[in-house]
Amino acid sequence: MPRVLIANDHGAVDLSRRIKEHLEKRGYEVNWIGVQTESRVDYPDMAKAAADEFFKGGYDFGIVNCGTGIGISISINKIPGIRCALVHDLYTAELTKRHNNPNFIAFGGRCTYSDSVEAMLDMFIDSKFEGGRHQERIDKMMALDKLV
């Protein structure tokens, strides 16, 4: 059974629950480690928890959500080995899989999207990484954190 991890702050509780339900309908085993109430937490702490859990292994990909998706995606992208795409429509959901092959994607629970998050997730899951020159670019991208 494919496995996915979800983490979130208080700005994306309902969205994270919706994502969990949608992915379970698609046959995923979902490990939701985010907060499930509106009590305030700091998104960098949730990003760190998500990466720690992801690196235990066994996950197809992870999802991180905050109010905008921005703070938590910036935070988790600072952790070596993580490549998180902030997706905002069907086009970016498709192209990030085909070209960037991220191990995390991010959404904003307080955002108004033109496409549903469920449709974006389906597009991401059903799109295929193209490899080739895109893998070469990813290798360069992932080597950037060794420069600092």
Task: Give the 3-state secondary structure of residue 32.
Answer: strand
Q: What residues contact 108, with CB distance under 8 A and at least 6 apart?
A: 11, 12, 15, 65, 66, 67, 68, 69, 70
Contact footprint for ligand RB5 (CB under 6 A): 9, 11, 43, 66-68, 70-71
- The minimum distance between CB 36 and ligand RB5, in angstroms, equals 15
Q: How far apart are CA 130 and CA 132, in angstroms?
A: 7
Number of C-beta neighbours around residue 132 at 10 A: 8
For ligand RB5, the closer CB: 45 or 126 = 45
Residue number of the CB closest to ligand RB5 reads 71
How many CB atoms lie under 10 A from the CB of residue 115? 15
Residues annotated catalytic, as ranges:
66, 99
- Nearest approach, Cβ of 34 to ligand RB5 (angstroms)? 11
Find the shortest distance in angstroms from Cβ 117 to ligand RB5: 15
| Comparison of 11 and 34: residue with beta carbon closer to ligand RB5 | 11
Looking at beta carbons only, is 28 or 102 nearer to ligand RB5? 102
From edge to edge, which strands make up the β-sheet containing 104-108? 29-32, 3-8, 61-66, 104-108, 84-86
